[in-house]
Amino acid sequence: MKLGALLEATKIAVPDGAAAVDVRQIAYDSRKTKEAALFVAIPGFHRDGHVFAEEAVARGAVAVVAEHAIDVRVPVAIVPDARAALADIAAEFFDHPTRKLKLAAVTGTDGKTTTVHLVSDVLEASGAKTGFATTVDFKVADHEWKNDTRQSTQEAVEVQEFFAELLVAGGTWGVLEATSHALALRKLRGTEVDVAVFTNLTPEHLDFHGTLQKYLEAKGELFAILNSSTDKGVPKTAVLNGDDSHWRYLADRAEGVKVLTYGVEALCDVQGAILSSDASGSRIKITASGQSVELALPLVGRFNVHNALAAAAAGLAAGATLQHAREALSRARAVRGRMERVESGQPFSVIVDYAHTPESLDKVLSLLRPLTKGKLIVVFGSAGERDRAKRPALAEVAAKHADFFVITQEDPRLEEPAKILEEIERGAIGAGKRKGTDYAVIDDRREAVSEAIRRAAPEDTVVLAGKGHEESIIVGEEKRPYDEASAAREALKVLGFGT
């Protein structure tokens, strides 16, 4: 595009004499800047993009968008908010793909990734061609690949480029995991949503948002986006968990669009009933608009019943039927790192799960405790530079459910690792647990996993919580390769299993 046309369309003043400059890339990371790029300088949490504008120009940037004047040899456009400008520019550069593509977006504390997968499955059962972007993976039509970026929701440039690619691949529906960080940082500005789904809300990311109310308000931004999106022939719908009290606030944010509730306890538009459940999943009944279906959901736990109901409701909002939902949910598969079983022929269970909040860990351990005949052994940690208040609370949850637990690292980042372990351990001490008898503290995560597995006996369950699908541990600013399931297999191999 010509720089003048791009900036004029996004209501940014064009620098003198710069209108005819050709732009072939939108960049916000100087290291990834290419020839003919427009570099947007974003003030970050650890680094300020303005400092790297000169490097971006050296790599080929032909213009810069910044929040203040910069001494570089290319035109500079000044904006009040670089993040908002990046989102607007990205949407324009990729020709607003979500104006043409129908889009469902899922937000909430827990269950987002699984729900995105299930929504995609229900839509495909109804004949749609889908693509999705989640914490774990991406899908464009028939092609799937891992998300190794460690970002649940990408930056605005990647979001718009992803949906542009899905359109080219013949996609008719996109499904997006929408985090509170992404919404607060305006990464989804310029994205048009047809169906907005809310899973639940429990305290998390309070280090970033400050209060639970601010966290809820960030989630609410998705429903404000839904409200302002253009009509694409599908009734704009807010799909809300009626069993979570926060749904009413979000319904108010979605004023003017259709609201569809789902739940088990509350009386909802899409009503779920759990007929039976065991270690293989649940048999459920779903009722909506006077019609009902029964199915065996092959995902374990009550929380997965809620995820399935959310997907059924989103499907109905998008034009699918209950029969389509039944067909898709009956063959649902667990997402990598979500209640993932590691099988090497051992006589005890090893489960990898992403649970990293006190609430999500409590759900997982509450589910597995009655299903475990032997001991319940848990490995967990808490990320650095994240909500410190949850650290002792995680240990309190482990102390409540587990026979033995190992406190270890998750992603210490730039924090002192020993300090993180000490703050988690306070919860164990406060719960009356004794180090060496009831729990261990092991800094190295591989060693922690090995110790937990070494202690396991027949009919025990070992839960490796917090890392899930992730393939690295961040120490300082370095991403060190690490895969929880592989670490478990290595530990089992040492014991003679899976050889």
Residue 485 confidence (pLDDT): 96
Structure tokens at 343: 């099988």
- In the chain, the percentage of residues whose pLDDT exceeds 70 is 100
What are the boundaries of each domain within the chain? 3-82, 97-330, 340-494
Residue 46 confidence (pLDDT): 76
Residue 194 confidence (pLDDT): 98
Is the CB of residue 30 less than 8 Å from the CB of residue 59? yes
Three-state SS for the chain is CEHHHHHHHCCCCCCCCCCCCECCEEECCHHHCCCCEEEECCECCCCEHHHHHHHHHHCCEEEEEECCCCCCCCCEEECCCHHHHHHHHHHHHCCCHHHCCEEEEEECCCCHHHHHHHHHHHHHHCCCCEEEECCCEEEECCEEEECCCCCCCCCHHHHHHHHHHHHHCCCCEEEEECCHHHHHCCCCCCCCCCEEEECCCCCCCHHHHCCHHHHHHHHHHHHHHHHHCCCCCCCCEEEEECCCCCHHHHHHHCCCCEEEEEECCCCCCEEEEEEEEECCEEEEEEEECCEEEEEEECCCCHHHHHHHHHHHHHHHHHCCCHHHHHHHHHCCCCCCCCCEECCCCCCCEEEEECCCCHHHHHHHHHHHCCCCCCCEEEEECCCCCCCCCHHHHHHHHHHHHCCEEEECCCCCECCCHHHHHHHHHHHHHHCCCCECCCEEECCCHHHHHHHHHHHCCCCCEEEEECCCCCCEEEECCEEEECCHHHHHHHHHHHCCCCC
Average pLDDT over residues 61-81: 96
Round to whole Å and give the CA distance between 217 and 163.
26
* pLDDT, mean over the chain: 95
Predicted confidence (pLDDT) per residue in 406-463, tens digit: 999 999 999 999 999 999 999 999 999 999 999 999 999 999 999 999 999 999 999 9
Is the CB of residue 64 less than 8 Å from the CB of residue 57? yes
pLDDT at 66 over 80: yes
Q: Which residue in 98, 102, 108, 103 sits closest to 310, CA to CA?
A: 108
More confident residue, 308 or 151: 308
* pLDDT band at residue 278 under the 50/70/90 scheme: confident
> Top-level CATH class of 340-494?
alpha beta
Residue 474 confidence (pLDDT): 95
pLDDT at 6 over 90: yes
Predicted confidence (pLDDT) per residue in 95-116, tens digit: 999 999 999 999 999 999 999 9
pLDDT at 208 over 80: no
- When the candidates are 3.40.1190.10, 3.90.120.10, 3.30.420.10, 1.10.357.10, the CATH number that belongs to 97-330 is 3.40.1190.10
* pLDDT band at residue 158 under the 50/70/90 scheme: very high
User: Residue 24 CB: number of other CB atoms within 10 A?
Assistant: 13
pLDDT at 204 over 80: no
Residue 240 confidence (pLDDT): 98
pTM: 0.87
Round to whole Å and give the CA distance between 160 and 88.
10
Residue 209 confidence (pLDDT): 75
Predicted confidence (pLDDT) per residue in 223-259, tens digit: 999 999 999 999 999 999 999 999 999 999 998 899 9
User: Residue 342 CB: number of other CB atoms within 10 A?
Assistant: 22
| Fold topology of 3-82 | 3.40.1390
Round to whole Å and give the CA distance between 316 and 239.
10
The C-alpha angle 356, 218, 213, rounded to 5 degrees, equals 80
Residue 150 confidence (pLDDT): 76
Residue whose tokens read 């109310």: 213
Residue 148 confidence (pLDDT): 86
Residue whose tokens read 């400008």: 85
pLDDT at 206 over 80: no
The C-alpha angle 235, 331, 302, rounded to 5 degrees, equals 80
* pLDDT band at residue 151 under the 50/70/90 scheme: confident
pLDDT at 8 over 90: yes
